[in-house]
Chain A
Amino acid sequence: MRYSPVVCLFAVTVALAADTPDPAAVKRGKDKFVASCGFCHGNDGTGSRAPDLVRSPLLSHDKAGETIGPIIRNGKPDDGMPAFPLTDAQLSDVAAFLHSQALAALRSNRVPGDYPAEKLRTGNAAAGKAYFEGAGGCTKCHSVSGDLASIGRKYAPIMLQGRILYPAGAKVNVTVTLPSGEKVEGTLVNKDEFTVALHDAAGWYHSYSLKTVKAEVHDPLEAHRAMLYKYTDQDVHNLFTYLESIK
């Protein structure tokens, strides 16, 4: 339901998981959990013949094993859960593991910056090359020996795929025609229904009322926007697989 991912991530992380568990404890806890609990609760704690623990109210209220500990040690005989005589250290590790799983679920609302290239490299590089040089029309502006040389090394894979689709932030040029007929060229700062603002070649800022001037925007990303309506997902994956191979 989220609207503003940045705000949300921060707030929910603060509210629901103040501390990132110690990785060594998580590792020990995972081994212990898999050995003792995984058979019923699933090796990742998300439930199998016994309930999901990762999104259980019990774990949500637990900080470091103080709530789940007694249940592990005493079992739940009515539900068929035996007691597990874990030491304090083992309990703490198992709690660390389960909290790390819960934190991973909380953080699942973003694609990590180090998202693996293998997951994205599902296309066909030759088909991507053909599309790049043909139907995609990419060579009208780009070249893999020019502006895109070594592009596969320049960005993290997830960033590269995003930038293939829409490389936001490119400079937009604007030509303003004054009432005298004189033209002012520059880099667009802002344009809305009422005004246009630009930086000229010397770096000076100008703004004009659109009641008095005409403004023609030359946005290099216009072609990228038009392509969003045309790509098939296969085109995107082929293009990525091709361009990611340009090392």
Chain B
Amino acid sequence: MKLLSSALIFTATLAAQGLDPALIAKPARDMWPTYNGDYSGRRYSTLDQINASNVKSLTLGWTFEAKSVPIKSTPLLVNGVFYFTVPDHVYAIDARTGRQIWHYQYPPNQGDHIGQRGVGMYKDWLFFESPDAHLVSLDAKDGHVRWTIELADEKLGYFSTMAPLVVRDHIIVGVSGDVTDIPGFLESIDPVTGKVQWRFYTEPKKGEPGSETWPKTGDAIEHGGGMTWMTGTYDPETNLVYWGTGNPNPVLVGEGRPGDNLYTCSIVAVNADSGKLAWYFQPSPHDVHDWDAVETPVLFDAEFKGKPRKLLAQASRNGYFFIVDRTNGEHLLTSPFIETNWAAGIDEQGRPVRRVDKDPTPDGALVEPSSNGSTNWMAPSYDPQTKMFYVIARRNFGEFYKTAEGKAEGWGGRDRGLFADSVLQAINIQDGKIAWSHELGNGEAHGGILTTAGHILLTADAGNNVLILDPASGKTLWHFTSNNRMVSCPMTYELDGVQYILTAIGDIVYVWRLPEA
């Protein structure tokens, strides 16, 4: 009897597979506890077993086929189990073998199924956003639903795609919207009860600071857009959550909303406990080209102009690279990372000055980049070894038409995409200059970037090749040609003393390792 109870206790200990939120700040080698792998958004791993000297001998560890739409999510890895998603679906997979542990399917719904970026994890629970803007909490053990709450009204055009960010006992979630003129917000949910702890609207209320950047009369500010559709970053020292926000609405027509339209196309720094705004920086004031500033606000500490600083960097969809001081939002650097034709210069606050003659018109305005942007959601990376920031950039043009007559609602127009090709840009953080470029071919590349202490950089070209490059020079060290494009971001981990690299290509997960000794 005594023996039996010890055995039970032992079994129970083994079964605990949860994630202590305190561990997210310093992830172990065998963990990838957030969408970006940690709070910083650097997508840099300290693992170096796979490195520039041995990468040529990489071999396939295992594969998993989701039999689904292409995977856009980055999996979480906790206690040897991967949790990843496609719209309406969550999978738990054994990280040693690729064996499926469980699969959860959200009920049929009318939401927008454009993409799903992953889950957040708190203790034994997962948090998953649905196409119809609900938040589902699952038991990580078996995928059973704990509760489901509505984040926003799907009938108004809200949907959701992002991976929640867990900060202590806050599940921080954003929402998506597109063609309807609805306000964006960032929200913190209690992981136990599902109750809202705070909500930060990306448009101020009339009379609040920032509201002066909208018309005083009319309802433009209430329909302002500013979606929060990509996972942000967090600094435990400042206790600030850093989040990018999307375009204002109506998307392509700004006449009804003169002003900068805060806090759309902005990076906002929000207190993790109160949701109060600490500071903001706006890459695209009064956007009329759909250039969301949602790209990862990457956090790193580095010497900048001879002084150690706590930095935040973003390569934004509008083609410009920005660095600010993340403690207070002080602007430090603005520099184009690719050619564009929409800005007349940089203002005293470091913001590109929009050329009004490149606003959409009934007869068309030729603008670089197109509405798809000079970059987009694909993860960038900062490598502290090279002190370079890497981004997937595109040269693309759109002819922008304003089609609305009368009061514009929704988009009010659209661009027709012309030529596009892609290039990986290595940006020197001191001056924003391009240290090297690696051409990725015709079309728009959609793979994210990972760098590691092993002096390697992973990404994909605009075709069907996964690439490993030398992060110092951009030289190709290894490649793998598959039957599909990688539209997700690679990650890496160590299990049982073996380093693995994970690439999700189409709906197939490929896991790479060095050959067994």
A residues engaging B (CB < 8 A)? 1-5, 7-9, 11-12, 14-16, 42, 44, 46-47, 51-52, 54-55, 57, 60-61, 105-112, 115, 119-123, 158, 161-162, 165-166, 168, 190-195, 221, 224-225, 228-229, 231, 233, 236-237, 240
Contacts and interface: CB of A to CB of B under 8 A. Distances in A.
Contact of B179 (A8, A42, A228, A237): A8
B461 interface: yes
Contacts of B177: 1
15 contacts: A1-B246, A2-B251, A8-B112, A11-B159, A15-B159, A57-B153, A57-B155, A108-B414, A123-B363, A161-B364, A162-B418, A195-B481, A228-B418, A233-B364, A236-B399
Contacts of B81: none
B114 A120 contact: no
B156 A60 contact: yes
Contacts of B362: 119-120, 122
Interface residues of B, number: 73
Contacts of A115: 401, 403
B357 A233 contact: yes
Contact of A55 (B114, B181, B416): B181
Given A1-B292, A8-B114, A46-B407, A193 B178 contact: no
Given A1-B178, A12-B179, A166-B418, A193 B461 contact: yes
Given A11-B113, A51-B219, A108 B418 contact: no
A196 to B, nearest CB: 12
Nearest to B396: A228
Interface string B398-429: 01010110111111111010110000000000
Interface of B: 110-115, 131-132, 153-157, 159, 176-181, 218-219, 223, 225, 227, 229, 246-247, 250-251, 290, 292, 294, 339, 341, 357, 361-366, 368, 371-372, 376-377, 397, 399, 401, 403-404, 406-414, 416, 418-419, 441, 461, 463-465, 467, 476, 479, 481
Interface on chain B toward A: helix, strand, loop, or mixed SS? loop
Given A1-B178, A2-B290, A8-B179, A190 B463 contact: yes
Contact of A192 (B180, B357, B461): B461
Given A162-B399, A228-B418, A8 B178 contact: yes
Contacts of A46: 406-407, 409
Task: Pick the most buried of B251, B399, B404: most chain A CB atoms within 10 A of its CB.
Answer: B399
A14 B132 CA distance: 12
Given A192-B465, A224-B419, A225-B419, A105 B409 contact: yes
A240 B399 CA distance: 13
Contacts of B372: 3
B401 A111 contact: yes
A120 B419 contact: no
A48 to B, nearest CB: 10
